[in-house]
Amino acid sequence: MDLNILSLLVWIPIIGMLGIAFVPRDKVDVIKIIAAVATGMQLFLAILLWMQFDKTSGGIQFMERYYWIPSFNIFYTLGVDGLSLPMVVLTPLLSFLSVFVSWNTKKAVKGFFALFLLLDTGMMGVFLSLDFFLFYVFWEVMLLPMYFLIGMWGGPQRVYAAIKFFLFTLVGSVLMLIAILALYFTCGQTFDMLTLMQTAPEALNGVLWWGMSAIKVIWILLFVGFAIKVPVFPFHTWLPLAHVEAPTAISVILAGVLLKMGLYGMLRVNYGMLPEAVWWFAGALAVLGVINVIWGGFAALAQTDLKKMVAYSSINHLGYALMGMAAVIAAGAANGNNYAAAEAGMSGAIFQMFNHGTISAMLFIIAGVVYDRAHHREIAGFGGLAKQMPIYAGVAAIAFFAGLGLPALSGFISEFMCFVGAFPVFRTIVIIGTVGILINATYFLRAYQKIFFGPLNEKYKDMPEITSRELFTLIPLAVITFILGVYPAPFLNVISATVSGIIEHVVNLGGTVGIF
């Protein structure tokens, strides 16, 4: 294809940002329209990309590759495959909707949307770049707008939340940078991810650093970097705070896209370049997954703030994805070459990433709707809103039930697949993990009941119904959740070739080389 569609996807928001920079700061409507048009165009291109994507191929498509800094072997390489495509569609979808979620922003509108578009470019770049250096630059570029968006437009504790987010993520990124450089110098001085996937397992085989296998050292450095972003259990403390303080649109982006980068990074980098270590770490990954599930679930159960509850539910939901990812080792010879389980687990993990993106986005928008009206989010502070706002209650029901994994909604299928995949290998862990579903249901149902049923709180008897703009941001997500819950095949078909490729890669390169 002659048109560089991937470059367009990455750079359209930047063009929008430059456009906004030249609009006087009082022309608020023009600014919003530019933001909506930029993200809308991006969404249109992403859908076009989805349609043109060759489902039968597990390789990289639409590749673009140019020299950037030849003296350090740095390229500008973009490409998309079944692993990144769902994220590439999810990102502009949520960005586009988020523009409308934050339509009523009053404070410094120009700055808000300019930074928002910069964030959009950063996210898109992370999912599309196939050069490690470029990947790292995009990964870091997101921090600046995120810091400002939380710190400037957030809640009362915004400044603390912003710097905490920044410090946590930067610790992860600098460790990642060291790992990237170590890979660069030990595996033939290249940043090209596709090349590294082939050369790294060979080059690092048998190398010892301080008595430890180099593969394990690099794996740990990269894993910590990605785990902070997910966030995986001991690194999760920044998340609830950032979520609660961030404005609604930014929470949507944070939960919907940013958290996925950690999982995406693990699948792309850790699984791709260090397949041997997958076998070493899969058990730990499953354990961390189940800790996330249980810990996130109980923490969510304890929350009185609706948004905080949703934030913890993210930790819980991504735990399922981690368990699904760990299931890849089912395909190994020691586990009876159970490719079906491995595929179920891996596809489930990627599907869960996408579903969590749509479902948690809905939940955050719903929390935002009620906050805009009542200016608080105490779950116990409402009651009987179902009578007052029937449409809102209806949409909220879809989101809450999707969150707790009700069959016929997409969350159920992906969680189920993660369990099915992981079960043959990690029997006990999965059984403990299913308890998570129960906790999950408890806190969602309890919250729904307290907010929407019971006697109407007198304070809110004039509370206006959900507006059409708010509904507009929720309906597409609800529709996707419903369709994929009933008929997930279109999604699973797109990723299946790539998933098999990753499993093959992990089995072929990791199964033969022992690192124990």
Is the sign of the CA dihedral 114, 119, 121, 122 positive or negative? positive
Say if CB 242 and CB 255 are below 8 A apart.
no
DSSP secondary structure letters along 217-280: HHHHHHHHHHHHHTT-GGGTTHHHHHHHHS-HHHHHHIIIIIHHHHHHHIIIIIHHH-HHHHHH
User: Counting beta carbons within 10 angstroms of the beta carbon of residue 144, is it exposed (0 to 12), middle (13 to 18) or buried (19 or more)?
Assistant: middle
Beta carbon nearer to other proteins, 171 or 483 = 171
Q: How many CB atoms lie within 10 A of CB 10?
A: 25
* Residue 140 lies near other proteins (rule: CB under 8 A): yes
Length of the chain as a residue count: 516
Q: Which of positions 178-207 make contact with other proteins (CB under 8 A)?
A: 178, 181-182, 184-185
Beta carbon nearer to other proteins, 125 or 421 = 125
Site track 160-179 with other proteins (rule: CB under 8 A), x = hit: --xx--xx--xx--xx-xx-
* Residue 152 lies near other proteins (rule: CB under 8 A): yes
Beta carbon nearer to other proteins, 21 or 408 = 21
Binds other proteins (CB under 8 A): choice among 15, 28, 144, 406: 144
Region of 69 on the Ramachandran plot (φ > 0 left; ψ -120 to 50 alpha; else beta) = beta
Q: Which of 287, 341, 350 has the alpha carbon at shortest distance from 319?
A: 287
Site track 71-110 with other proteins (rule: CB under 8 A), x = hit: xx----------------------------------xx--
Beta carbon nearer to other proteins, 74 or 506 = 74
Binds other proteins (CB under 8 A): choice among 1, 47, 159, 438: 159
Binds other proteins (CB under 8 A): choice among 15, 36, 143, 224: 143
Q: How far is the CB of 69 from other proteins (least distance, A)?
A: 5
Number of residues in contact with other proteins, rule: CB under 8 A? 35
* Residue 11 lies near other proteins (rule: CB under 8 A): no
* Residue 210 lies near other proteins (rule: CB under 8 A): yes
Beta strand residue intervals within 46-103, DSSP E: 61-69, 74-80
* Residue 463 lies near other proteins (rule: CB under 8 A): no
Beta carbon nearer to other proteins, 186 or 449 = 186
Q: How far is the CB of 102 from other proteins (least distance, A)?
A: 17
Rounded Cα–Cα distance for residues 228 and 165 (Å): 10
Q: Which of 185, 250, 171, 242 has the alpha carbon at shortest distance from 214?
A: 185
Using the contact rule CB under 8 A, the part of the chain among 63-71, 351-359, 387-395, 431-439 near other proteins is 63-71
Rounded Cα–Cα distance for residues 425 and 344 (Å): 13
Rounded Cα–Cα distance for residues 4 and 76 (Å): 13
3-state helix, strand, coil in the chain (%, to 5): 75, 5, 20
Footprint of other proteins (CB under 8 A): 68-72, 107-108, 136-137, 140-141, 143-144, 147-148, 151-152, 158-159, 162-163, 166-167, 170-171, 174-175, 177-178, 181-182, 184-185, 209-210
